[in-house]
Amino acid sequence: MEVWVETADVVDIRERVFRRAGAGIASVRAPADNKGTPAGWPENPGSGAGRDITGADLPRLIYVRWQSLAEPQTYEAYILIPELAREIMRKPEKAFCRLDGKWITDYRDDVGIGLAPGGIVKVWLGGPCLKSVEIARVEGSVVKQGPYQGKNEGRYALPLSPESKAYIEKFGIPFGSW
């Protein structure tokens, strides 16, 4: 389902804050021609439409505020990254890269964040050649001021795409599948 990220801020383990480490359109999983289902998460999610954060150490906290365009509703969530996740990020692993057919040593240093209707957030760690592992699931809260913290007269960033609108009108939003 379609979302617009207003901001994703990261605090690293040295307590440095990286504001707007992510914002804008998120990558979206949508069924083509109203076939299939957008419910749930993919088996091996990637890092999505993310950005590199130059100079950051391992993450301690991620704050994300986003617009669920399907509902529409604005949510925010604080994601505490557990120490176990940072241990996973530090550990090198041998992996077979299907892209070039070679064995490499890689790290799970990509943090992927899934945002779903109802304010559900899931977080995975992955790498270009490593299978993603889930490290957190949180429920965000509704931002009472609405989009852009009430500074945009209640307007959402984008209209829902015609494809998503048609799907929702036909099947509804699969709340609870995330």
CB 96 within 8 A of CB 44: no
> φ, ψ for residue 143 (rounded to 5)?
-85, 105
For 39-85, the pLDDT digits (tens) are: 666 676 665 556 778 889 999 999 999 999 999 999 999 999 999 99
In a domain, 176, yes or no: no
User: What percent of the chain lies above the pLDDT cut of 70?
Assistant: 86
- Domain range for 44 is 3-171
In a domain, 177, yes or no: no
Supply the DSSP symbol for 27: P
Could you tell me which residues come within 8 angstroms of residue 174 by beta carbon, excluding any fewer than 6 positions away? 37, 38, 39, 40, 117
In a domain, 17, yes or no: yes
In a domain, 50, yes or no: yes
> What was the pLDDT predicted at 24?
75
CB 35 within 8 A of CB 97: no
Q: Residue 152: pLDDT band by 50, 70, 90 thresholds?
A: confident
In a domain, 178, yes or no: no
For 73-126, the pLDDT digits (tens) are: 999 999 999 999 999 999 999 999 988 999 999 999 999 999 999 999 999 999
Q: How many domains does the chain have?
A: 1
